């Protein structure tokens, strides 16, 4: 029987060079670099014009976590994995100003800010003029290489061999068995940090950007390790003892937007 214990851990020292933070961040102490994946601050202006806007509270909570991380670690460099807005380089008006304001705040105190995206050509544009931000496909930090690519679990050999890839484009989810309210079998799907031995795969900084495919432990290498996130706490997962995920829990479906019909199956 799998036993899952939620331990009150806020940091995990993966190595002397890598610290996992329960605020959904990664700290590289030797390079004084803070790494965040899918920050998505910039959804604010766009969402305010939609009929189903996000409440203000989550938006403020994101800023609180960012500022607390900046205060605690005092990084020289902040690495952002992924866009801050969909089609960020082409946004206009209020959204463009919001984007520039975010970059100004992150660069406060002389911090360097780099942005790593899967397709830099789709992320650049007029909205980034004057920010000093030039999105790149990869960024080397010490012995590590930062990337933001979806659905990648087979990584090329890393050079140097004492480093590994850090990917922000695949957001690990694990299905955890636990007793329900009446002791009936129940499951939790939780975001996690996943270390495969070849790469460290990060959770999204914002909870609503979670992945949509549950990781199957039996498909992971033997050396893989994972730490689930719940209530701002990290809990180590015993992957070898984790039972197979039930078929109906293996994928998540995105809720339909208002006025949109479900896609028809291909013939």
Answer yes or no: is 255 within a domain.
no
Cβ contacts of 45 within 8 Å, gap of 6 or more: 94, 95, 98
Q: Give per-residue pLDDT as tens, 188-215.
A: 889 999 999 889 999 999 877 777 678 8
Instruction: Report yes or no on 232 lying in a domain.
Output: yes
Classify residue 202: in a domain, yes or no.
yes
Residue 208 falls inside a structural domain: yes
**Residues forming beta bridges with residue 115, ordered by sequence position:** 80
> Computed over its alpha carbons, how large is the radius of gyration of the chain?
19
Alpha carbon of residue 107 to chain centroid: 20
- Backbone dihedral region of 151: left (phi > 0), alpha (psi from -120 to 50 degrees) or beta? left
In a domain, 264, yes or no: no
β-bridge mates for residue 29, sequence order:
none
Of 154, 149, 147, which Cα lies nearest the Cα of 220?
Answer: 154
Spell out the SS3 assignment of 210-251. Answer: CCCEECCHHHCCCCCEEEEEECCEEEEECHHHCCCCCHHHCE
How far apart are the C-alpha atoms of 195 and 198, rounded to whole Å?
Answer: 7
**Number of separate domains in the chain:** 1
Residue at 260 is within a domain: no
pLDDT score, position 1: 44
Residue 253 lies in a domain: no
pLDDT tens for 52-83 read 555 544 566 888 999 999 999 999 999 999 99
pTM higher than 0.95: no
Domain that holds residue 179: 11-247
Residue 243 or 47, more confident? 243
Residue 4 lies in a domain: no
What is the edge-to-edge ordering of all strands in the sheet holding 77-81?
11-15, 18-21, 25-28, 33-37, 77-81, 112-116
């Amino acid at each position: 029987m799998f036993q899952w214990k939620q331990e009150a851990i806020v940091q995990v020292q993966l190595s002397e060079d890598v610290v996992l933070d329960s605020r959904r961040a990664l700290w590289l102490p030797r390079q004084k670099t803070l790494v965040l994946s899918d920050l998505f601050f910039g959804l604010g202006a766009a969402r305010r014009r939609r009929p189903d806007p996000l409440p203000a509270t989550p938006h403020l909570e994101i800023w609180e976590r960012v500022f607390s991380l900046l205060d605690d670690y005092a990084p020289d460099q902040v690495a952002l994995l992924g866009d801050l807005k969909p089609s960020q380089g082409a946004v206009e008006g209020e959204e463009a100003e919001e984007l520039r304001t975010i970059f100004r705040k992150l660069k406060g105190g002389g911090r360097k800010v780099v942005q790593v995206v899967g397709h830099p050509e789709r992320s650049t544009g007029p909205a980034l003029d004057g920010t000093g931000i030039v999105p790149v496909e990869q960024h080397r930090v010490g012995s590590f290489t930062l990337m933001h690519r979806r659905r990648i679990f087979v990584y090329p050999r890393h050079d140097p061999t004492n480093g590994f890839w850090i990917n922000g484009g695949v957001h690990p989810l694990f299905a955890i068995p636990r007793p329900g309210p009446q002791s009936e079998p129940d499951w939790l799907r939780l975001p996690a940090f996943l270390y495969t031995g070849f790469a460290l795969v990060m959770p999204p900084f914002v909870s609503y950007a979670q992945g949509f495919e549950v990781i199957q432990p039996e498909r992971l290498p033997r050396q893989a390790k994972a730490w689930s996130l719940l209530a701002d706490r990290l809990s180590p997962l015993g992957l070898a003892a984790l039972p197979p995920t039930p078929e109906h829990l293996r994928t998540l479906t995105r809720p339909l937007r208002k006025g949109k019909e479900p896609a028809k199956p291909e013939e």
